[in-house]
Structure 1
Amino acid sequence: MTTIRLTTAQALVRFLANQYSERDGHEQRLIPGVWGIFGHGNVAGIGQALLQAAVTGEADLPYYLARNEQGMVHASVAYAKMRDRLATFACSASTGPGSTNMITGAALATTNRIPVLLLPSDMFATRAADPVLQQLEDTRGGDVTVNDAFRAVSKYFDRISRPEQLIPAALAAMRVLTDPVETGAVTLSLPQDVQAEAFDWPAAFFRRRVWHIGRALPEPDAVERAARLLRSARKPLIVAGGGAVYSGAETQLRAFAQATGVPVADTHAGKGAVPWDHPYAVGGIGSTGSYAANELAREADLVLGIGTRYSDFTTASHTVFANPDVTFVNLNVARLDAVKHSAEPLVADARLGIQALAAALTDWATGREYQTHTRELIARTRNIEQECLAPDRNTGPLPAQTQILGALGEVLDDRDVVINAAGSMPGDLQQLWRARDPKAYHVEYAYSCMGYEIAAGVGAKMADPSREVVVLVGDGSYLMMAQEIATMVSEGLKVIIVLVQNHGFASIGSLSESLGSQRFGTNYRFRNGDSGLLDGSVLPVDLAANAASLGADVLHATSVEEFRTAMEKAKAATRTTVVHIETDLYGPNPPGHGWWDVPVSQTSALDSTRAAYETYAAHKLTQRHYL
């Protein structure tokens, strides 16, 4: 047997450079590169291996320098999301805090079911120098390290305590990364001494491998059962989730809705699968859903979920599907999601499942009265959207966030990517953003992680440089993680960052007020010496200057018209550009058509909290299990 003597890190780099994914005849690199920040633990392991690969050409695996370990995981997730989960990056971090910084990113990846390969460095496997710098000494066992925290947020975890363990572990990691059902964060924990240890590796370990990602076929009997239920429905509704996009089922879904007259609502991950102006597109559904989608959901006697995991925002915390006789048919590649809400499961790839249902329903469509009702609700929703986006809607000195979104929608093209994750913007976007392309709406709302946005802009732009990438970020999320602006600049990536400054947490402030907590602790203010609270004057924070210090060009706007002009300049620019605008912290926001279950104190000395609890208790009466 031919062998090659390499360190564990050198072997891993060579292995990763030869992994490919394939679906529908299209091959691409599964791991096109490695993100990293070097420190003790990986600088002489993975770092040396990547340098050697670059200098000698023995492995084609480019290295990218991030500024924050969490940020590089977010960038990898955004890249994978744009590539329909068919490609992702590896992320290398140093021992201790460098590695544990990736845990939030790992949780986000696994919650969203997006593949990412994490390579956290670990303590010495030999324990020759215990305890080493940054080592956790756990009295329960000598083999416990901080990297064990990755177990809860990884779809696969392995610690490579000897070089030869890498062979089965690396193959298992690729299996999980390319599994449409079980994918998420994959963690190979690498003790720092093992990374540098040499071993005689079988040459076959480094051969070119193609991981074929097939499409799960629907069972004919399951298709027939689902079709039978659809035929019996008078008011069916489709809920399209991320699975419809990752499967590339947009064409099939649009044709199915057109042929059958079944309206299509979408989740954040599914927005754009059916364009906003499709005759049966009714918009976002759930807690921040549109008027049309939620009205149809309340009436629906059958819900066809396609590639959705039914988060509480999608179901409005189990209140939006209000018909006492509602039944569910769930088309999903994951049985976990296919059986939710006591559904009739159709376990299959979304594209093939829709095609099978369409073939079984060629002579069926919804009634004319229901189709007319759907069109009327869509028309009413369009009027609500226009009122929210109207340039003169806000009468205060600062523009409303909705006005900025309206202007942004007028400036951007259909293929331009809008990125967001947290705060009040996801709710505004779900109701108001008019997506026509499934990759143009990039809102991470499974983990809704503050700080995702700017790092995600890096990954999205790398995944498709032909698209304009626009990051929408509030001051709260910006302050969480703005460092990757420097990465954009160093890599020559042109990204537009719309920095909305309202001096506080707008979303949580509004939620706090609705729950009787009076926006406590949600504004960026000096501490008031008289009250002892953070309710003094506005802090003199200059986020635009901060962005400029990181290397971005900065444009300022103080009105909707100035913002529109600044955006045109930013689109024409060739460098990362930040457009800074102050908005009204207090809205106005789009009207609410759904509920979200956030518990309110059952007893309180505050009148505001007692009143909020009465409202909460009334909503709880409408909550149900779908049995």
Structure 2
Amino acid sequence: MKMTTAQALIKFLNQQFIEFEGNENRMFKGISTIYGHGNVLGLGQALEENPGDLEVYQGRNEQGMAHAATAFAKQNRRRQLIACASSVGPGSANMITAAATASTNQIPLLLLPGDTFASRQPDPVLQQVEQLHDHTLTTNDAFRPVSKYWDRISRPEQLMTAMINAMRVLTNPADTGAVTVSLPQDVQGEAYDFPEYFFKKRVHRVKRLEPDQTEVDEAVNIIKLKKKPFIVCGGGVRYSEAGEVLATLAEQFQIPWAETQAGKSSLANTHPLNLGGLGVTGNAAGNELARQADVVIGIGTRFSDFTTASKQLFQQESVDFVTINISEYHAGKFDATKIVADAKEGIKSLADSLEEAGYKSSYNGEIEAAQQQWKEELNRLYETEFYTEGFAPEIAGHLDEELEEYRDVLNSSLTQTAVLGKINHSVENDAIVVGAAGSLPGDMQRMWISKQPGTYHMEYGYSCMGYEIAGALGAKMAEPNKEVYAMVGDGSYLMLHSELVTSIQENKKINVMLFDNVGFGCINNLQMGNGQRSFGTEFRKRNPQTGKLDGELHKIDFAKSAEAYGAKTYKVYTMEQLEEALIDAKKQAVSTLIDMKVLPKTMTGDYASWWHVGVAETSGNSAVQEAYLDKEKQLESARKY
């Protein structure tokens, strides 16, 4: 069948299906594109002439559209995808950050960037980066370290093996991520006589990996000698749809669990054994019981530094580690006794064997006490208000007069914790909340009460600023009947919010909850918490007297800019205005933006956790010297690997 490389690619994508437990659906819902000279006459021609069942979406920023595709796959539990196509050069380079985000989070993402001419006839073509030492290098080679599979189609017939390998990686739950297939613009239009069998229907069956009983027995032999087991619920629990069996295991043997950012909303936060967040962004209940645990059972987690508080969280001297993970690599972390298996199947096998062993934990009121103490603290955070006298911000750092400056400039006394509590209480039980970066992920992991499974969508593997709004669009495309809320700070919003326009174009309503504290507040906290003065993290104008960025605060009317895009917008300075905006936003058919002015230092602090960051070993600032000594002291109690 003679057709161009691009036409063959589109025909092939139309013939890919995913089956999971008897349910079959098309693997690709569509392709998101931004056209340029590197793809408009190749892939663009193929999609215009015969897209098959693929919907074509028009992105606004290549990074943004790829984030939306990542979020779409994540919300679909990796069982349906949107491919992304760009032109050569800057269009391709814009997607590199999104590729890294997808690979870090193990979310399948197919990227189809245009590339320079395989023939080299017009070299250097517009937007080509020339490397004198290696003429085979192009912008797209930068995708290699952030892709789980990478290929370049220099001849049309190479498309066949490339795409078969691409499907292999995209459907591998143990090691999926970004797949980059580079398409030189001349090759996209070149024709080849492709065999019919290349276009046969392919059903990629995602199977549950069964555990090896020997591995299960080894895990049970460790657990049955322990009194205070503790479960870490990771993203693998959500993708495996293992929340209910996890709850059954926990109830049967009286084992508490805490959630990673990816694992949150595997089950509702209201379960009495669900302690909530863990680690650096965790709460007091989860972190306290984690320190007491004598065996940690990590399920579907990759044990990131935030989850383990830089390997310092689990302090019980005789603590052992057991893991259930479909990835042998992640299962082997902490020198764990590993069960390499699908989370759901691994949990069920572990429960059966623990029952045979007659196991029961030895908790005696500690779980209930920790839960109650955290509930009281959570209520305090919900009710925190600003007072001119006697107000103590959650995070130290600003002088009283500086807080007054923020209050006067923002014309607001809103605290971030109270605002977040109001939103949590106001949104629908099945609403999806999306976040990624700044202080909000910490506040949300601690404070957000997920009332139904699959409603908490946090990209925190890469914590990519700018994911939030694009991610909300992707989540809405995955579940169009649910309200979706993008929880975003002013820093992330300014970095990337262009897919808000796409949401309006596609009639996919999202609600942008914009927390404006006039700066990169999270990093300002980190900076000042380690002895430095505020430097380059607040949004201040350059001061003509000092020549530095320490002038007046730079106010932005975000509502006005979003209104120009066509969104319904609200300006919020009081809790009453916030409540009214939330009620009215639910009535809208178009995307909304609620511009909330919140005071800095009113997000949550840490709860008995530590994060290892680089602190200057030498400094003329005594506070930095103290921070360095404290870091060295903390390292003494952290695991080395």
Is TM more than 0.5 here?
Answer: yes
Conservation of the 8 A alpha-carbon contact between 1:272 and 1:441: yes
Cα 1:365–1:405, aligned 2, differ >3 Å: closer, same or farther?
farther
Alpha-carbon offset, residue 200 of structure 1:
1.1
* C-alpha distance in structure 2 between counterparts of 1:518 and 1:527, whole Å: 17
Structure 1 residue 440 corresponds to structure 2 residue 437: no
Alpha-carbon offset, residue 69 of structure 1:
0.2
Of 160, 167, 178, the residue aligned with 1:174 is 167
Conservation of the 8 A alpha-carbon contact between 2:92 and 2:140: yes
Please name the residue that 2:33 is paired with: 36
Please name the residue that 1:238 is paired with: 231
* C-alpha distance in structure 2 between counterparts of 1:109 and 1:473, whole Å: 19
Structure 2: 5+ residue runs without aligned partners?
392-406
* C-alpha distance in structure 2 between counterparts of 1:258 and 1:334, whole Å: 26
Supply the AA of the counterpart residue of 2:37: H
Conservation of the 8 A alpha-carbon contact between 2:573 and 2:596: yes
Structure 1 residue 8 corresponds to structure 2 residue 5: yes
Alpha-carbon offset, residue 578 of structure 1:
0.5
Please name the residue that 1:411 is paired with: 426
Alpha-carbon offset, residue 607 of structure 1:
2.5
Please name the residue that 2:297 is paired with: 304
Conservation of the 8 A alpha-carbon contact between 1:485 and 1:551: no
Of 45, 56, 76, the residue aligned with 1:63 is 56
* C-alpha distance in structure 1 between counterparts of 2:419 and 2:365, whole Å: 33
Of 551, 557, 561, the residue aligned with 2:576 is 561
Please name the residue that 2:123 is paired with: 130
Structure 1: 5+ residue runs without aligned partners?
none
Supply the AA of the counterpart residue of 1:111: T
Supply the AA of the counterpart residue of 1:23: F
Structure 1 residue 589 corresponds to structure 2 residue 604: yes
Cα 1:159–1:285, aligned 2, differ >3 Å: closer, same or farther?
same
Conservation of the 8 A alpha-carbon contact between 2:300 and 2:343: yes
With structure 2 as the length reference, what TM-score do the two structures score?
0.95
Conservation of the 8 A alpha-carbon contact between 1:387 and 1:393: no
Of 553, 557, 565, the residue aligned with 1:542 is 557
* C-alpha distance in structure 2 between counterparts of 1:296 and 1:486, whole Å: 45
Of 22, 46, 49, the residue aligned with 1:25 is 22
Cα 1:588–1:99, aligned 2, differ >3 Å: closer, same or farther?
closer
Conservation of the 8 A alpha-carbon contact between 1:53 and 1:61: no
* C-alpha distance in structure 1 between counterparts of 2:600 and 2:44, whole Å: 45
Alpha-carbon offset, residue 625 of structure 1:
2.9
Conservation of the 8 A alpha-carbon contact between 1:555 and 1:580: yes
Of 519, 539, 545, the residue aligned with 1:524 is 539
* C-alpha distance in structure 1 between counterparts of 2:106 and 2:84, whole Å: 17
Please name the residue that 1:46 is paired with: 43
Residues 256-284 of structure 1: per-residue CA shift (max 9 Å, x gap): 11111100011000011232121111111
Please name the residue that 2:498 is paired with: 483
Supply the AA of the counterpart residue of 1:399: L
Of 360, 365, 368, the residue aligned with 1:366 is 360
Partner of 1:33, secondary structure, is: strand
Conservation of the 8 A alpha-carbon contact between 1:17 and 1:31: yes
Conservation of the 8 A alpha-carbon contact between 2:287 and 2:607: no
Supply the AA of the counterpart residue of 2:44: G
Which deviates further from its counterpart, 164-173 or 565-574?
565-574
Conservation of the 8 A alpha-carbon contact between 2:310 and 2:611: yes
Alpha-carbon offset, residue 615 of structure 1:
2.3
Please name the residue that 1:337 is paired with: 330
Conservation of the 8 A alpha-carbon contact between 2:229 and 2:361: no
Cα 1:74–1:588, aligned 2, differ >3 Å: closer, same or farther?
closer
Residues 455-498 of structure 1: per-residue CA shift (max 9 Å, x gap): 01110000011211000111000000111111000000111111
Q: 1:107-256 maps to which residues of 2 (within 5 A)?
A: 107-256=100-249
Conservation of the 8 A alpha-carbon contact between 2:102 and 2:178: yes
Please name the residue that 2:622 is paired with: 607
Supply the AA of the counterpart residue of 1:19: Q
Supply the AA of the counterpart residue of 2:294: D
Conservation of the 8 A alpha-carbon contact between 2:280 and 2:606: no
Aligned length: 618
Q: 1:570-589 maps to which residues of 2 (within 5 A)?
A: 570-589=585-604
* C-alpha distance in structure 1 between counterparts of 2:46 and 2:72, whole Å: 24
Please name the residue that 1:493 is paired with: 508
Please name the residue that 2:530 is paired with: 515
Partner of 2:513, secondary structure, is: strand
* C-alpha distance in structure 2 between counterparts of 1:264 and 1:591, whole Å: 19
Alpha-carbon offset, residue 556 of structure 1:
1.5
* C-alpha distance in structure 2 between counterparts of 1:237 and 1:400, whole Å: 33
Alpha-carbon offset, residue 553 of structure 1:
0.9
Structure 1 residue 279 corresponds to structure 2 residue 272: yes
Residues 557-580 of structure 1: per-residue CA shift (max 9 Å, x gap): 111221122111111211101111
Please name the residue that 2:339 is paired with: 346
* C-alpha distance in structure 2 between counterparts of 1:323 and 1:293, whole Å: 14
Conservation of the 8 A alpha-carbon contact between 1:388 and 1:590: no
Alpha-carbon offset, residue 391 of structure 1:
5.1
Cα 1:126–1:433, aligned 2, differ >3 Å: closer, same or farther?
same
Alpha-carbon offset, residue 588 of structure 1:
4.7
* C-alpha distance in structure 1 between counterparts of 2:19 and 2:555, whole Å: 52
Supply the AA of the counterpart residue of 2:420: L
* C-alpha distance in structure 2 between counterparts of 1:514 and 1:378, whole Å: 28
Supply the AA of the counterpart residue of 1:314: T
* C-alpha distance in structure 2 between counterparts of 1:398 and 1:449, whole Å: 29
Alpha-carbon offset, residue 53 of structure 1:
1.2
* C-alpha distance in structure 1 between counterparts of 2:485 and 2:612, whole Å: 31
Of 374, 384, 393, the residue aligned with 2:377 is 384
Which deviates further from its counterpart, 174-183 or 579-588?
579-588
Partner of 2:615, secondary structure, is: coil
Residues 368-403 of structure 1: per-residue CA shift (max 9 Å, x gap): 5x1411111111111111111115366575211111
Residues 571-611 of structure 1: per-residue CA shift (max 9 Å, x gap): 12111011111000121524432111112111101223122
Supply the AA of the counterpart residue of 1:604: S
Please name the residue that 2:397 is paired with: none
* C-alpha distance in structure 2 between counterparts of 1:620 and 1:230, whole Å: 28
Conservation of the 8 A alpha-carbon contact between 1:399 and 1:559: yes
RMSD between superposed Cα atoms in Å = 1.3
Structure 1 residue 262 corresponds to structure 2 residue 277: no
Residues 412-442 of structure 1: per-residue CA shift (max 9 Å, x gap): 1221101110000011111111113331111
Structure 1 residue 294 corresponds to structure 2 residue 303: no
Alpha-carbon offset, residue 103 of structure 1:
0.2
Conservation of the 8 A alpha-carbon contact between 1:234 and 1:301: yes
Which deviates further from its counterpart, 436-445 or 65-74?
436-445
Please name the residue that 2:400 is paired with: none
Alpha-carbon offset, residue 515 of structure 1:
1.4
Alpha-carbon offset, residue 92 of structure 1:
0.3
Please name the residue that 1:474 is paired with: 489
Alpha-carbon offset, residue 201 of structure 1:
1.1
Supply the AA of the counterpart residue of 2:443: D
Residues 208-230 of structure 1: per-residue CA shift (max 9 Å, x gap): 21100101000011111112211
Conservation of the 8 A alpha-carbon contact between 1:391 and 1:560: no
Please name the residue that 2:87 is paired with: 94
